[in-house]
Amino acid sequence: MALSKKTRIAVAGYLFLLPNFIGFLVFTSIPVVVSLVLSFCKWDLFTPPKFVGVHNFTLLFHDADFWRYSLNTLFLMLANPFIMLSFLAVFAALGLHETGISEVKAVWLFVGIFGGSASWWIIFRLAAGWLRGHLERGGLHVINLAAGTLICGFGLWEFVDFLRHR
């Protein structure tokens, strides 16, 4: 029985996507399900897992460190888009959006923004621990205020430039 051209194209498409589906299943779906199942067990890798129900979650939610680490993670997750927007604001304030740049330069600009964001994040994480140990609370407040003022200043500069050239 011969397959129609439309069916052969569909089969070829599914065969093309099959490695991605297998990779997603093996490296994402199965580990997530196994992790979920094991989260309800007591297991030390040397003895067989023992089902303990929600006991692990009860311990987790009553641990003060869990909430502190969760809030730190939430802060970093929410801060990353603002860091990228601040780099975009710097480039916009410098007038790079008006130059009519080519696609290649646009890609390099995009890479530069994300590279700058990644660099800033690495520097931020390394410096934050050092500063926390060496500066008083008031000193960190002054640094945060100065950084926020600088970012707002770039945004205001671009906004005024936008209104003038409207």
The reported pTM is 0.46
Q: What is the pLDDT of residue 86?
A: 76
Domain around 70: 64-164
With tokens 């640094």, the residue in question is 143
- The mean pLDDT values, 10 residues at a time, for the chain of 166 residues are 89 94 94 95 92 94 89 82 76 66 68 76 78 71 82 84 78
Q: What is the pLDDT of residue 159?
A: 82
Report yes or no: 116 and 85 within 8 Å, Cβ to Cβ: no
Structurally, how many domains does the chain consist of? 2
Q: Residue 117: name the closest of 83, 152, 77 by CA.
A: 83
As given in the structure block, the two tokens for residue 58 are 């009860």
CB within 8 Å of 92: residues ≥ 6 apart: 158
Query: Do 42 and 84 share a domain, yes or no?
Result: no
The maximal CA–CA distance of the chain, rounded, in angstroms, is 80
Query: Do 122 and 157 share a domain, yes or no?
Result: yes
Domain end residue (candidates: 42, 59, 76): 59
Query: Do 69 and 49 share a domain, yes or no?
Result: no
Domain end residue (candidates: 41, 59, 77): 59
Q: What is the pLDDT of residue 21?
A: 94
